Structure 1
Amino acid sequence: MAKPVAGRCAAPSAEGLAKAGFAFDGTVTALTDETATLKVRHWYAGDEADVVEVQAPSADLVGLLQVVDFKEGDRFLVAGHDSTVLPCGLSGAYSSDLADLYQQAFGA
């Protein structure tokens, strides 16, 4: 089972992740202070575009709510609503543990 994260977060769960409006595996191709652009490798839920732009969380939120800390060229699992990325470990750098959680949540 996933461990709780710092701040005010419960442990990430497949049930919580499954409520996301979009979820995908992608690589950051461009990054500004406000947005991250990712080339999608695989869609779990949502629009199924080849390229997605999401809001890049502020540095303050990265430590407080364990939001994803995007880095250009790196691979991420990203879930959210509209263009806002879910915090609390539900989005993050690609790992086999997080990929397993996405598989449990979306079965894809």
Structure 2
Amino acid sequence: NYSTGVTYCFLFQDDPEPRERRRAMLGAMCLIARGKHQQNKKVIGIATEKKIRPENSYDFCLMDIPEWTEDNQKSMEKLQRKTKIFDNLKVSHIREEEYPKIDQDK
């Protein structure tokens, strides 16, 4: 989101995936997303299982990197080559208003 300076990542994985692996994948996604959207200083990541049930588990990641350095970029690129996360990223921007705009002229 360009107006708030935050990028959001959502990860849904199959149930048999160990939580440690899911947390590592979420952290990698957030780091790569931070590097891909350098105008946003924060990344919020949420991971859960693909099937939504009352007993689902959730993992969260907050990545706050105010200054993106050349070392950050090198680490991100190395991680992206290794994991292929967001390898063929296609970005689109959609803005949805929660409430309709009121015509002030009436």
TM-score by length of 1: 0.27
Between Structure 1 and Structure 2, which shows a larger proportion of helix residues? Answer: 2
Q: Which has the larger radius of gyration?
A: 2
Question: Greater strand share, 1 or 2?
Answer: 1
Query: TM-score under structure 2 normalisation?
Result: 0.27
